[in-house]
Amino acid sequence: MNVTLGTTVTLSGAGVYIFRPGGALNTGDNSLVTLAGGACASDVFWAPVGATTLGANAALSLTPTFVGNILDNAGITIGHFANLTGRALAFSGTVTTDANTITVPTCAGFVGGTGAIPTLSEWAMVMFAALLVIVGFAAMRRRQAI
């Protein structure tokens, strides 16, 4: 999978993104992978079969920017001045960096609803406990009668 010179890939919307190229993952100079609409870098995963190279020959003026977690068995090379927001994990190979900015992604946590959790009232709990006691005694009497 090649993200070539000047290409911008935008991942839009909350969710988990998983990319599994059948070969190597290569990005060109000035290529960008960006996020929009609630997408989070910690939810983006790149798992190529071959080696990964991010902006191998990038100049400062053509800085590639990449987001997501790279899980690679063969090895990862992050070229000169390339920026990564995510993690680079190589299981059998090495991770090579050169004047890079690598940032751990920070995303907003889950924001739940503000409504109260419905619970039984105190009297309903007392009635439920009494019902359980009655059912328990009935079961014990039936067992003794047999």
Residue 93 CB coordination number (10 Å) = 14
Residue 76 CB coordination number (10 Å) = 23
Q: Could you tell me the pTM of the whole model?
A: 0.68
Paired residues of 9 in beta bridges: 33
Tokens of 11: 């991942």
What are the average pLDDT values for consecutive 10-residue runs of the chain, which has 146 residues?
Answer: 73 92 84 89 92 74 81 90 90 88 80 68 90 94 83
Please report the pLDDT score of residue 87 as a whole number.
94
Please report the pLDDT score of residue 61 as a whole number.
54
Domain extents for the chain?
2-103
Please report the pLDDT score of residue 68 as a whole number.
93
**Beta strand spans in the chain (E):** 2-3, 8-12, 17-19, 25-27, 32-36, 44-46, 52-54, 65-72, 76-78, 83-90, 95-96, 101-103
Tokens of 102: 């690598």
Please report the pLDDT score of residue 35 as a whole number.
92
